[in-house]
Amino acid sequence: MKSDNARAGMQQAPARSLFNALGFTKEEMKKPMVGIVSSYNEIVPGHMNIDKIVDAVKLGVAEAGGVPVVFPAIAVCDGIAMGHVGMKYSLVTRDLIADSTECMAIAHQFDALVMVPNCDKNVPGLLMAAARLDLPTVFVSGGPMLAGHVAGQKRSLSSMFEAVGSYAAGTMTEEDVDNFVENVCPTCGSCSGMYTANSMNCLTEALGMGLRGNGTIPAVYSARLRLAKQAGYAVMDMFNKGITARQIMTKDAILNALTVDMALGCSTNSMLHLPAIAHEIGFDFDISFANPISEKTPNLCHLAPAGPTYMEDLNEAGGVWAVMKELADIGLLNTDCMTVTGKTVGENIANAVNKNPEVIRPVDNPYSKTGGLAVLKGNLAPDGSVVKRSAVVPEMMVHEGPARVFDSEDDAIEAIKGGKIVAGDVVVIRYEGPKGGPGMREMLNPTSAIAGMGLGSSVALITDGRFSGASRGASIGHVSPEAADGGPIAFVHEGDIISIDIPNMKLELKVSDEELAKRKAAWTPVEPKVKTGYLARYRELVTSGAKGAVMKTPEELRK
């Protein structure tokens, strides 16, 4: 056992004295030591129940013959961090989570791990750590929130942000907004639509790293506690069989996850996180992989914000495995990939059933014949940009209009809410990328303001930042290279015509190459917005959004 490095032999007698101080018995010292990575805290609604999940995991591990030991991971609530400087500190935690988990696991020589995340950066950060550590590892999340109810309709956090836009447009009263505040987030759990947290938790199942239902069983259901105990059993089974994370998280598994992503209509943020996870296993994931997979993968689900269904509905309809069964039946998944059950994908999903063909459309009746995401390229985004096309209204799939240019999210929100943006405009928000932000803020406030003011079917938004999974509309993010790196988005002038053609994967600035070259020659890099602390270090180390905003390797730093 790896833990023997820290516990066995005369040399480790001092360490044994410290385990003794922890209350370990001699019998426990001979058993596998399983780290339970707890993301519990009291500021994130998706994490406030994780203490109970952790307790259930501990029971499962102990019953199966291991010794559970809990240590923490941080997590940021994107909804609370949204719209102010706090959002700069969201994406950047992904690497802190991966690095700190690596430190704890190796320093203490755990034999296996159970990851208990839930929200946006927490899940991919721990997946990155799992790939890096290559131990027997199982994921069990805190689970999604139940949908809220307002005026007899199911609602969620995206409705809340759009209500603020409606208030600015004069179509809602303060009392109406307060009604949303009281009712859209009724329970603990990750927000109830197919936002980033739920997208990534669903993709743990597609990757083979989570048990059935990990992405969809609501946080408040007792089935979530049973799942947590089963995760404890499963990790001990993996330990006994010698199954480790990298045997599961292979190139084929990541491509499976991308395929399932397309069918589910996941958040655009998965196009940051899947490349980062792939990077940890040495797989050079080009975001352009999305397009050929999208072209052959039908979009089967329209969960909020794309449609009127929620995570609880997907769970009742058969969950992620039912979606995977639909895809496997037409040959779109590699069913030979290993999973945390000790069985292959094909064996796991063999008996999965689609119980509601309106929530999970059959492959012969999809919402669209192509997947939920698209990567657009052109002279405005030579390295690519990402749009959740399943959440774009038909009339905005092709759009051309004048650029309204802002060098920060805050300036754009002021203009939108001030009525300065009109139908046909293309809002450009730049210097909000991984370096420029720094931290690549989510743009849920401006997209929600556009939707709430009734402009969702006539105004596009383009940024080198990113979007919340709760964003909808013609919202194109991750424009690369970013403005801070001298990408073409830095050279857009007010009134320039921008052409968006999502079906043909094009994003073009209607300016000649010669004019762009002149603008580039005259461009002066802007002063960094942050010069001290973690964000300053992050700015120096982070790569492009097109590369998943991963940290530079030592070789890249030496160049």
Q: State which amino acid sits at residue 506.
A: K
Contact 30, 14 (CB under 8 A): no
Longest CA span, the chain? 76
Q: What value does the mean pLDDT take over residues 478-493?
A: 98
Which 3-state string (H, E, C) describes 273-334?
HHHHHHHHCCCCCCHHHHHHHHHHCCECCCECCCCCECHHHHHHCCHHHHHHHHHHCCCCCC
Q: How far, in Å, CA of 144 to CA of 406, rounded?
A: 35
Q: Which residues contact 414 (CB under 8 A, 6 or more apart)?
A: none
What is the pLDDT averaged over residues 86-105? 97
Q: Return d(Cα 59, Cα 413) in angstroms, integer.
A: 48
Question: Is the bond preceding 292 in cis, omega lying within 30 degrees of 0?
Answer: no
Q: Which residues contact 552 (CB under 8 A, 6 or more apart)?
A: 541, 542, 543
The interaxial angle of helices 270-280 and 196-207, nearest 10 deg, is 40
Q: φ, ψ for residue 479 (rounded to 5)? A: -55, 120
d(C-alpha 119, C-alpha 189), whole Å = 9
**Torsion angle in degrees (nearest 10) through CA of 550, 551, 553, 559:** 110
Torsion angle of C-alpha atoms 146, 149, 154, 157, degrees rounded to 10: -70
pLDDT for 518 beyond 80: yes
Q: How many CB atoms lie within 10 A of CB 132?
A: 20
Q: Which two tokens stand for residue 257?
A: 């996850």
Q: What is the pLDDT of residues 11-68, one digit of tens each?
A: 999 999 999 999 999 999 999 999 999 999 999 999 999 999 999 999 999 999 999 9
| pLDDT given for residue 251 in this prediction | 97
Residue 104 half-sphere exposure, CB side, CA atoms within 13 Å? 23
Token pair for residue 526? 């802007």
C-alpha 107/C-alpha 71 separation (Å) is 12
pLDDT, mean of residues 265-276: 95
What span, in angstroms and rounded, lies between the C-alpha atoms of 137 and 243? 9
Contact yes or no for 470/191 (Cβ under 8 A): yes
Quick one: tokens of 462? 């383009």
CA atoms within 13 A on the CB side of 524: 2
DSSP type of residue 398: E
Sorting pLDDT into bands at 50, 70 and 90, what band is 473?
A: confident
Residue 384 is encoded by which pair of tokens? 């690519």
Tokens linked to 307: 């449609």
Residue 49: its H or E element: none
Mean pLDDT to the nearest integer, 82-91:
93
d(CA 385, CA 373): 10
Closest by Cα among 453, 454, 452, 408 to 427 = 408
Which H or E run contains 402?
A: strand 398-406
Residues of the chain above pLDDT 70, percent:
100
pLDDT of residue 149: 96
398 band by pLDDT with thresholds 50, 70 and 90: very high
**Beta-strand relationship, 112-116 and 33-38:** parallel
Residue 182, classified by CB atoms within 10 Å of its CB into exposed (0-12), middle (13-18) or buried (19+), is exposed
Note the pTM of the prediction, 2 decimals.
0.96
DSSP 442: B
Contacts of 456 (CB under 8 A, 6+ apart): 393, 450, 472, 473
Active centre residues (catalytic): 468
Q: Which residues pair with 150 in a beta bridge?
A: 153
User: Containing H/E element for 80?
Assistant: helix 78-81
Tokens representing 442 are 């989510």
Q: What is the pLDDT of residue 453?
A: 86
Instruction: Give the residue-averaged pLDDT of 469-481.
Output: 90
pLDDT band at 169 (very low <50, low <70, confident <90, very high): confident
Residues near 140 by beta carbon (within 8 Å), at least 6 away in sequence: 53, 57, 114, 115, 116, 210, 211, 214, 227, 228, 231
Q: Read off the tokens for 405.
A: 């240019």
